Structure 1
Amino acid sequence: MVKRVSLSDAECPVARSLDGIGDWWSLLIVRDAFDGARRFGEFQKSLRISKGILASRLQGLVALGVLAVTSASDGSAWQDYVLTPKGEALFPVIVALRQWGEAFCYRPGEPHSELVDRKDGKTLAPLIVRNADGEIIRARDTIVMKI
């Protein structure tokens, strides 16, 4: 098995981000946290992931500051995993992945889940990248500059 190389010191922000949250289980845990999961058992039931892998990923997300461990909201002896502001900042990432998946990973008419606005049930507008002046910008309009 190939040993995983750490990207924590990479110059590229994409590489550093992937080092912490780039495996699919971590992103699916974050997705489930946005959907309201808070308990170990809720994540385990939703993801059908082994307890060992789930414990490892939750520990990593807590260490990274994406999730925080709190006393259970119902006063029981359990603990809850809640998104921190750092974790909540991943919402556009999850939405972008979802929208890309909806556009490219399903056959026309194939059923799938849909993320909608809670207040009116309408689907979300596609995410659009804009420059500082609010103009739509595409990949070909950008360059990477080292600072």
Structure 2
Amino acid sequence: MYRKRFTGMNCSIARALEEVGEWWSLLIVRECGQGTTRFDEFQSHLGIARNVLTSRFERLIELGIVERFPLEGRANTEGYRLTPKGEALFPVLVTLKQWGDDWLDETCQQRLELVEDGTGQPVEKMTVHTGDGRPLSLRDIRYVPGPGATDSTLELIQRRNQRVLGETPEPDTEKR
């Protein structure tokens, strides 16, 4: 089966999915965040075929998300750990976990809670919010052009803001 490539798309979401959108990738990142370092542990915990795991590690290393490092006490054996780029995926995993806890049926019950190590306080729900902490929904956000905006980006922004925010198009920008 042919997999669509997103490398040519001028979209941060599509480009991020090009790097970590294949499901094994985020599960490997999750395992790294849980302290897994040895290949055999990844294979056992994930139930993933050896060749698939090897391929995923190669890609994650190539992308700078995971790195190899020498395991102490194990001559000529390397482990795997997250790079800073990989650790930056932690909020994505927390958001996916929280979404799953809220929206998946009862057959996928929450099996663990996330709490701050120093205080034992529960981690707050991941949200998009204002500088003063007020949560925002997609209907509270306006899209505006960024530095890489193209004509198609401008069309997307206008269409999205019209449909989601209910804006009336300006007469000179309307398609005729």
Q: Give the TM-score, by structure 2 length.
A: 0.75
SS of the aligned residue for 2:79 comes to strand
- Alpha-carbon contact 1:68-1:81 (below 8 Å) kept: yes
Distance 1:120 1:106 in 2: 31
SS of the aligned residue for 2:60 comes to helix
For the structure 1 residues 63 and 142, does the alpha-carbon distance in structure 2 shift closer, same or farther, using more than 3 Å as the test? Answer: same
Match of 1:94 in 2: 93
- Alpha-carbon contact 1:115-1:124 (below 8 Å) kept: yes
Segment of structure 1 superposing worse, 102-111 or 120-129: 102-111
1:22-101 to 2 correspondences below 5 Å: 22-101=21-100
How big is the shift at 1:8? Answer: 1.4
Segment of structure 1 superposing worse, 137-146 or 32-41: 137-146
* Structure ranking higher on relative contact order (CA contacts 8 Å, 6+ apart): 1
RMSD: 2.1
Distance 2:10 2:108 in 1: 42
Match of 1:105 in 2: 104
The sequence identity of aligned pairs, in percent, is 38
Long gaps (5+) in structure 2 = 147-176
Segment of structure 1 superposing worse, 70-79 or 85-94: 70-79
Distance 1:64 1:109 in 2: 31
Long gaps (5+) in structure 1 = none
Residue deviations 1:33-76 (CA, integer Å, cap 9, x gap): 00001111111010010001111111111111000111113353
Distance 1:6 1:108 in 2: 33
How big is the shift at 1:26? Answer: 0.5
- Alpha-carbon contact 2:115-2:123 (below 8 Å) kept: yes
SS of the aligned residue for 1:11 comes to coil
How big is the shift at 1:124? Answer: 1.6
Which is greater in Rg? Answer: 2
Matched pairs, number: 146
Distance 1:11 1:85 in 2: 24
Distance 2:107 2:82 in 1: 34
- Alpha-carbon contact 1:38-1:81 (below 8 Å) kept: yes
Letter in 1 for 2:45: S
Distance 1:73 1:57 in 2: 24
Match of 2:122 in 1: 123
Distance 1:37 1:114 in 2: 19
